[in-house]
């Protein structure tokens, strides 16, 4: 049974020390190619942890924590790290999950209300557009908030303020990661039933990895972290004097 235990507990692969640094899509593809099996296993852990609906926010936070480690190329012991993060962030993630769910519910209700009214009254098209923009910003804010929450333990108000700042500073990468998630689920729908196993294998974990990858740089900026926390960045040698 050693092989079964090692599959879940052994350290994941890393980046060779002499590898050239990559950025953007090239780095995303390289990291995905290196961590794909860990991402599949992470998806399984997420599904098991979220069987109880009440545990869904904590499972998302644990998955975000592991995904940030993938992005930063830190050593991963998947089962241990996921379980530790699940327990550590359970109550905070649940509280934020309820708050964000309520905010999204209100936003969607407002959008549907204005969309129905705009059919007969074009004046309502303006508030409808505002509601759409606010909802998109809320989605970007949620992406930054969950990643910031698992990167640093911060008071709720400061976490919300930093997430809003990151959403203003670098909204496009977060929007790109959300578009990537939408494409994953669109592929699942278009190619069903051939794609029936996509959610069970990697849709959730790959989507969260895309979010973590997309918003990580903004999180580093607003947290004022050292450059070495960024993927493929190596510390500079001190100047001899």
CA 113, 118, 121, 125 dihedral sign is: positive
> For residue 141, how far is the Cα from the chain centroid?
11
Give pTM, 2 decimals.
0.83
Confidence band (pLDDT; 50, 70, 90) for 72?
Answer: very high
**Lowest-pLDDT choice from 28-37, 145-154, 212-221:** 28-37
pLDDT band at residue 25 using 50, 70 and 90 as cut-offs: confident
Which pLDDT belongs to residue 12? 52
Helices 156-169 and 171-190 pack at an angle, to 10 degrees, of 80
pLDDT for residue 55 is more than 60:
yes
Kindly give, in sequence order, each residue whose CB lies less than 8 Å from that of residue 188, ignoring residues fewer than 6 positions away.
195, 198, 199, 203
Alpha-carbon radius of gyration of the chain: 20
As a whole-number percent, the residues of the chain with pLDDT over 70 amount to: 84
Higher-pLDDT residue of 138 and 23 is: 138
Helix (H) or strand (E) holding 10, with range, is: none
Q: What is the DSSP letter of 77?
A: -
Using CA atoms in the order 45, 153, 68, 139, what is the torsion angle rounded to 10 degrees? 90
| Per-domain boundaries in the chain | 22-229
pLDDT at position 191 is 87
pLDDT digits (tens, 9 = 90+) for 183-195: 999 998 998 887 8
Contacts of 125 (CB under 8 A, 6+ apart): 118
Give the pair of three-digit tokens for residue 172. Answer: 């496009």
Return the DSSP state at 19.
P
**Neighbouring residues of 75: CB distance < 8 A, sequence distance ≥ 6:** 11, 12, 14, 69
Residue 241's pLDDT band (cuts 50, 70, 90): very low
Average pLDDT, the chain: 86
């Amino acid at each position: 049974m050693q092989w079964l235990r090692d599959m879940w507990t052994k350290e994941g692969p890393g980046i060779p020390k002499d590898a050239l640094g990559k950025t953007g899509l090239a780095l995303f593809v390289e990291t995905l190619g290196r961590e794909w099996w860990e991402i599949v296993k992470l998806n399984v852990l997420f599904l098991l942890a979220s069987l109880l609906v009440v545990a869904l926010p904590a499972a998302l936070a644990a998955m975000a924590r592991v995904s940030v480690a993938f992005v930063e190329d830190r050593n991963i012991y998947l089962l241990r790290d996921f379980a530790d993060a699940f327990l550590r962030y359970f109550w905070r993630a649940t509280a934020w999950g309820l708050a964000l769910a309520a905010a999204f519910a209100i936003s969607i209700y407002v959008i549907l209300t204005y969309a129905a009214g705009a059919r007969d009254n074009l004046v309502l098209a303006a508030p409808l557009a505002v509601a759409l923009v606010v909802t998109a910003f809320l989605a970007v804010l949620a992406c930054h908030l969950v990643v910031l929450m698992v990167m640093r333990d911060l008071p709720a108000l400061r976490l919300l303020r930093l997430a809003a700042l990151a959403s203003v500073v670098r909204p496009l990468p977060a929007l790109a990661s959300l578009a990537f998630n939408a494409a994953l689920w669109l592929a699942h729908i278009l190619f069903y039933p051939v794609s029936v196993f996509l959610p069970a294998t990697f849709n959730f974990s790959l989507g969260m990895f895309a979010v973590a990858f997309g918003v990580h740089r903004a999180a580093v900026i607003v947290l004022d972290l050292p450059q070495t926390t960024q993927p493929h960045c190596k510390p500079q040698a001190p100047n001899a004097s």
